[in-house]
A and B are shown apart, each in its own frame.
Chain A
Amino acid sequence: MYALIAANNRIRGPQSALTDFLASNNISAAQITADYDRRQREARQREQEEAAANGEAIEQQQEEDEERAEIEAAAQKKKRKRQQETALTKVKEGKAKKKQKKRKGDDSDGGDSDVTWDMYTKKKPLPGQLENCEECDKRFTVTPYSKTGPEGGLLCVKCSKEQTAQEKKNQKAKKPAVSRDKRRQVQSNLLDGIVQIGAKSLQDICIKEVANNILDIDEFGDLPQELLNPLSQILSRRRAITSRTLDLFLRSDLDTIDLYDCGKLETEDYIRIFSVVSNIRNLNLRNAGQFKDEVIDYIIERSIPIKTLQLEAANLVSNDKWTQFFMNCGEPLEFLKLTWLDYSMDDDAFSHLIRYCPNLTRLKLKKCFRLTDAALSAIKDLKQLERLSLRFPTPTSSDALAELISKIGPNLRTLSLENFTDADDDVLSTIHTSCTQLSKLRFTENDYCTDAGFVGLFTEWSNPPLAFIDLSSNRSVDYSMPDGPEVPTGLASAGFEALMEHSGARLEHLDISSCRHITYETFSNIFDGKNQYPFLKDINISFLTKIDTAIAAGMFRSCPELIKVTAFGCFNVIDVAVPKGVALIGVPNAQDSIVQEGDVDADLF
């Protein structure tokens, strides 16, 4: 035995079926590998020679070399191809047999067969070599970027490009099948409070289509005014209001221009608005950074009697120009809204506003950095004022605010006071005594007023029930006491109960977000499913972490007209059944909300 092994003197590992098969056909795997290596070596050598020849830069010789190489390559290729073909057919047969064997359970496959197989697949020429295109049979130089054709061969530059174009086309054609965009759109709509059931109106679809093709439209024709506004909104949202698209909105028969994003308009564009739409009475320009002194000059020169003026971010107008504007054009002004003027208007210019605009019924001022207590007190001289909306970035005194409200309060229909951090319970009691015909009240971002102050405001208030109440962020901000101080600060349980007692019957919009001292018991009493708030459509309960699924469900029963619930940060609201047509925003839920079909009362508890 020993002698026999010694005679063979070879230790052999497991052999693949292919190796066996090849050996039986007198084909040695080692020989083939050696041949393959040699051919590779030759190809490399030839390449190096060619490169060297190129280096000598003798064009003629290079051409000769190339020709020779070509002929050689062609001849070799033909030979190789023949060899490959015969080998391939044999290997294929072998593979088929091997598969049969495999099925029988003989699984002694060595890794070497794969290597062997790789060698017999159509060999790809190395970059720099010449090859015939698989598609068009043209001869071309192979580059690292050459594409593989459908049969495995290489493609010329032209055919490669065509293939890439085709692939892109196919990808594009596939895209609509992916619903991610649509899902994103649904979520985006939900954040806007839009829950669409059924098709959009034909108007909405058309407006969207017009906006999509805005660059191909030369004029809107006699499109009615009320359709221009949604068009302006959608174009502003896409930041597509430019000098060119502005022209579409300018028609001499109009008296109203609403543009919600003027970021791309230049000073001349604003002047053009007034020269084309010479009858303009209502002007609403947001993000109007380039609305400068020259524009005001033009308005004064033409003495255009503007009734409604809303300007946002017109912070390059000088104080003198504001003064001139109010002196010349103040009389007809009825509604003035100035926001984000930054450092553009000071108390002095503002005093001219008060003096020369006696007919103002609506005044809204936000983020005008240089207005102080003096401006706040000056507002009391606007005798016609019915709607007042203020947000002062500078600290103002509680007394000045209380005094203002006591003077103009009786005439006010809406009052919005944002971020008056120093206002105290006196302001609330002044609102209680002075304001008797409010339909909208906003008093936000304050940590000074107490719950008792809010109870005092809403208890036995001679003002009829309000339709709109926003008391968000009235809470203690001392986070060392998460449950709030002993004496409840901000809108807490008693204040909220007094609010709902006073206005619940007519309330449409309610924002109590971040009023974190309202207790769970109060919520469950207010939204017990039996109390009815028949007009409540929109409610914001964000960051009221005590609210849970049961209270949310009770809310849906207590407010039959509800269409929008904003509930960011309400982590205890989980898998609540949302009635049909209600947008529940902000509740973390990877799934679509569970929309309840049919009757709301069916199965809430």
Chain B
Amino acid sequence: MNTPSTSPYVTLISSDGFEFIVSRDAACVAGTIKKMLDPQSAGVVLEKVCEYLYYNLKHKDAKDVPDMEIPPELCLELLMAADYLHV
């Protein structure tokens, strides 16, 4: 999935190692793939997701955990990412 966003093709790799190079337009028909390739889900959002993953691990068994700070401008994008990632 790490093809640069400019390339018209993307490479799909199966779990047993097969690689398929398909056009970006075709791949994006699949909603999940489209979301993965969406340039929106870039740095800032992913950074926050990673922060959450560690925050979650840190407070695994704690009670009354304070909510993680979320910048208001990111909350919608982060919500979409959270929904996609099931976290």
Contact = CB atoms under 8 A, between A and B. Distances in A.
A196 B87 contact: no
A200 B67 contact: yes
A206 interface: yes
B79 A203 contact: yes
A216 interface: yes
Contacts of A220: 76
Given A199-B68, A205-B70, A223 B59 contact: no
Contact of B72 (A203, A207, A213): A213
Interface in A188-242: 196-203, 205-210, 212-213, 216-217, 220-221, 223-224, 227
Contacts of A130: none
A217 B76 contact: yes
Interface string B62-82: 111111101010011011101
Given A206-B79, A220-B76, A196 B64 contact: yes
Given A209-B70, A212-B72, A199 B65 contact: yes
B64 A203 contact: no
Interface residues of A, number: 26
A206 B72 contact: no
Contacts of B62: 197-199
B16 to A, nearest CB: 31
Contacts of B12: none
Contacts of B60: 198-199
Nearest to A213: B72
Contacts of B55: 199
Contact of B79 (A196, A198, A200, A227): A227
B30 to A, nearest CB: 15
Nearest to B70: A209
Given A199-B55, A199-B65, A202-B49, A227 B75 contact: no
Most central of A205, A221, A595 by chain B CB within 10 Å:
A205
A553 B53 CA distance: 36
A182 interface: yes
A198 B49 contact: no
Given A210-B76, A213-B75, A220-B76, A203 B65 contact: no
Contact of A206 (B61, B65, B78): B78
B80 A223 contact: yes
A53 interface: no
A365 interface: no
A271 interface: no
Given A199-B65, A201-B87, A206 B59 contact: no
Contact of A198 (B59, B78, B80): B59
Contact of A196 (B65, B72, B85): B65
A600 interface: no
Nearest to A200: B67
A250 B74 CA distance: 22
Given A198-B61, A202-B49, A207 B67 contact: no
B40 to A, nearest CB: 10
A232 to B, nearest CB: 14
Interface in A86-124: none
B17 to A, nearest CB: 32
Contacts of A213: 72, 75
B9 interface: no
A282 B35 CA distance: 27
A220 B80 CA distance: 10
A199 B63 contact: no
Contacts of B67: 200, 205, 208
Contacts of A210: 75-76, 79
Contact of A197 (B52, B63, B76): B63
B57 to A, nearest CB: 9
B65 A198 contact: yes
A203 B82 contact: yes
Given A196-B64, A197-B61, A208-B67, A202 B87 contact: yes
> What 9 A-B pairs come out closest when comparing CB atoms?
A206-B79, A209-B75, A202-B82, A202-B87, A203-B82, A213-B72, A209-B70, A199-B59, A199-B56
Given A202-B56, A206-B70, 19 more contacts: A186-B64, A196-B64, A196-B65, A198-B56, A198-B61, A198-B62, A199-B56, A199-B59, A200-B65, A201-B82, A202-B68, A203-B83, A205-B70, A206-B76, A206-B78, A206-B82, A209-B75, A223-B76, A227-B83
Interface of A: 182, 186, 196-203, 205-210, 212-213, 216-217, 220-221, 223-224, 227, 595
